[in-house]
Amino acid sequence: MGWSGRFYGSGVDRIELYDLDADAAETHNLADQHPEVVSRLMKLVEAGRADLGDYDRIGKGARFFDEGPRRPESRPWLPDDSMAAPQRMDGGGAYPHDFTYRVALAHEAGVTRRDPSDVIQVGGQYYVWYSKVEKGPGVWEYPSGYSADVWYATSPDGLSWSEKGKAVGKGGQGAWDEHGVFTPNILVAKGKYYLFYTGVAKGHSRETPTRIGAAQSAAPDGPWEKLGQKPVLVPSDDPARFDSMRVDDAAFVVRGGKYWLYYKGRQQGRSPGETKMGVAIADHPTGPYVKHGEPTPLHPGHEVMVWPHGKGVASLATAAGPRRVYFASDGLAFEVRHPVANPPRAPGAFRNDRFDETAPREGLQWGIGHASQEGDLYLVRFDCN
């Protein structure tokens, strides 16, 4: 024990969990395999922070023996003071700051289910779509989703899920999506259902561009018909742009009667950790989608989930850059609103607004993400605290 002092930090990049009896060197991170243990331990951590304090708060049990301010006046690791201040509501309720988890579709050896869509409720059923790939010959870098098809599952209560079957498969010979279709997301509009997905052509490699396509159906159970022979969104031609190599992971918000397609983009020669978010806007669900102005990024994040929040748009970036909730009153100029602990991986939100601009904006409540076990990925439900 020493003299009281001051130290500042910006949190950790990832949660780590180790079995010290079997792995004293801490070489195998088990956090993704045991989300329930992580959730229980994080509750104890947060209770300790509430009592003792942390870089962004004074603990209720803290005592001070030194002179000077009790909180740092300068926070160089924060883009602005909004993270250290009480939560801002922005007209849509509190932002999520921590999460609990339970299994949605259980682990299955040799099978990966990953990158789930937003969740919708139709009648008495909840629906989610996801990438599914089985380990075997011809599969590219399993458990990657690049060789996947799009499958779906339903639930009567959002807790117990049943896999129903394939929704959208790979394209035919020579098609732009012949190698794989993955990272689906759902849009409900004009009495129809639209599944947007990412596709890659045959001969996929780390340098292969990805594009976004779509299929439509009169019912959430299908059948699904692809929208023509071409994608609806493609990488930028200019190699200097942030989305010149890949566009991926569509997510939707309806604003002003228009369809805002948020996506993640990657520049040629860049790593997945340098992924950024962009937006393209259309008058009709099927497009044409026009990238907003010059295709400049909105904020960093490899896995990005968006949802309507108050009169604006909120997003949660969970894999590249800081783990934070962002908000944009105009849907474009995103600012940090709150840090998050233990965020979901590749999350999709339960869309209680059902893409209806007139519906109450209840904020993010729960959704579906994925976790890993023994080299496979499976689906988990997350609930917001």
Q: How many residues would you count in the chain?
A: 385
Residue 52 burial (CB count, 10 A): 13
> Percent of the chain, pLDDT > 70?
85
CATH-assigned architecture of domain 99-384: 5 Propeller (2.115)
User: Residue 20: what pLDDT?
Assistant: 80
Token digits of residue 72:
């740092």
Position with higher pLDDT, 53 vs 194: 194
Task: Name the helix (H) or strand (E) containing 37.
Answer: helix 35-52
Quick check: helix, strand or coil at residue 121? strand
Backbone angles phi, psi at 322, to 5 degrees: -65, 145
**Residues 6 or more apart whose Cβ sits within 8 Å of residue 160:** none
Taking only the tens place, the pLDDT of each residue in 22-48 is: 776 566 788 878 888 887 887 888 788
Over residues 304-335, the pLDDT tens digits come to 799 999 999 999 877 666 678 889 999 999 98
Nearest of 250, 301, 305, 251 to residue 276 by alpha carbon: 301
Residue among 114, 180, 116 nearest 146 (CA): 180
Q: Distance of CA 302 to CAs 232, 322, 338, 350, 360, Å?
A: 21, 11, 18, 20, 29
> Six-digit token pair at 348?
């999709």
Range(s) within the chain of domains with CATH label 2.115.10.20: 99-384
> What DSSP string runs through 103-146?
EEE--BTTEEEE----BEEETTEEEEEEEEEE-STT-SSTT-ST
- Give the C-alpha separation, 120 to 107, whole Å: 23
CA–CA gap between residue 14 and residue 343 (Å, rounded): 9
> pTM surpassing 0.75?
yes
Q: What is the dihedral of CA 321, 105, 119, 197, to 10 degrees?
A: 70
Contacts of 365 (CB under 8 A, 6+ apart): 350, 352, 383, 384
275 neighbors 328 (Cβ within 8 angstroms): no
Cβ atoms of 77 and 11 closer than 8 Å: no
Contacts with 94 (C-beta within 8 Å, 6 or more apart), sequence order: 87, 363
Residue given tokens 């602005």 in the structure block: 80
User: What tokens appear for 80 in the block?
Assistant: 């602005």
Which whole number is the average pLDDT over 73-95? 52
Least confident window among 38-42, 153-157, 245-249? 38-42
